[in-house]
Amino acid sequence: MSALLDVHALTVFHGQLEAVHEVSLSVAPGEVVAMIGANGAGKSTLLRTIAGLHRPSAGKVAMDGRDITGLPPEKRVEAGLVLVPEGRRLFSSLSVEENLLTGTYRARPGPWDMERVAALFPWVNERRHQKASSLSGGEQQAIAISRALLVNPRVLMLDEPSLGLSPLALRRIYAVLPELLASGLGILLVEQDVRQALRVATRAHCLLEGRQTLAGVPAELDLERIEAAYFGVSYAQHGQGVVRA
């Protein structure tokens, strides 16, 4: 299957600091590409740059072979590239329903509408008139994902969806991934929770200080190599395992 999203040798600076160094990746329909790495490894910066919120200093982002590197975020949304940002970022003064409706403002044609999203998270119907800020973290994450789905993305980027969620809320969020993939979209997932990420990923990349240190199919990656790529030390030097899958 050919890739929907193609990122080629992307380099991003935060002032003097090189946050992302020549990272390349691709996402095809039905695929979950996981980007793992420690805090400050540049994962969020990478996603935000792909979404158009930061300008890269070098490299290319393409959707369907079309170069979108110069486009602002809202134009990338039109191309089907949608980011669910870290921390959910719901509109706090809008109700739950209004938050969802913002996803329909520039929606593309596609399978996701209010009804289908409500079927994904059935509790939404009873709580649609509540202010979004009154929801729990897990519920907010569900609304943030639903809001993004209503745009009918072709590639959905999830930035740390597990952050601050209880294990139960986390399971509920991850439980909907198969249905999203079945609708034909590709997912680019940034996650600190390595176990969780590797469980759902079809491919994984590891970032360390902005550099790609590992890439492959989760089944073929052993913990030793992941740990080395994650922390930047080899297993032999470090002496004991930290990541337990």
Alpha helices in 103-201, H assignment, sequence order: 114-120, 137-150, 167-175, 177-182, 194-200
Comparing CB distances to another protein, the nearer of 106 and 171 is 106
Helices 137-150 and 167-175 pack at an angle, to 10 degrees, of 20
- Does residue 74 belong to the site contacting another protein (CB under 8 A)? yes
- Does residue 161 belong to the site contacting another protein (CB under 8 A)? no
- Does residue 53 belong to the site contacting another protein (CB under 8 A)? yes
User: 72, 178, 184, 241: which one contacts another protein (CB under 8 A)?
Assistant: 72
Q: Count other C-beta atoms under 10 Å from residue 134's C-beta.
A: 12
- Does residue 14 belong to the site contacting another protein (CB under 8 A)? no
- Does residue 164 belong to the site contacting another protein (CB under 8 A)? no
Contacting range for another protein; rule: CB under 8 A; set: 5-13, 105-113, 185-193, 207-215: 105-113
- Does residue 124 belong to the site contacting another protein (CB under 8 A)? no
Comparing CB distances to another protein, the nearer of 51 and 194 is 51
Q: How far is the CB of 80 from another protein (least distance, A)?
A: 10
Collapsed DSSP state (helix, strand, coil) of residue 210? coil
Contact 188, 33 (CB under 8 A): yes
CA dist 55 and 24 (Å) reads 16
- Does residue 106 belong to the site contacting another protein (CB under 8 A)? yes
- Strand spans (E) along the chain: 5-14, 17-27, 32-37, 58-63, 66-67, 81-84, 155-159, 186-191, 203-208, 211-216
Comparing CB distances to another protein, the nearer of 99 and 213 is 99
CA dist 127 and 149 (Å) reads 19
Comparing CB distances to another protein, the nearer of 85 and 216 is 85
User: Which residue ranges make up the site for another protein (CB under 8 A)?
Assistant: 51-53, 72-74, 77-78, 82-85, 89-94, 98, 101-103, 105-107, 147-148, 151
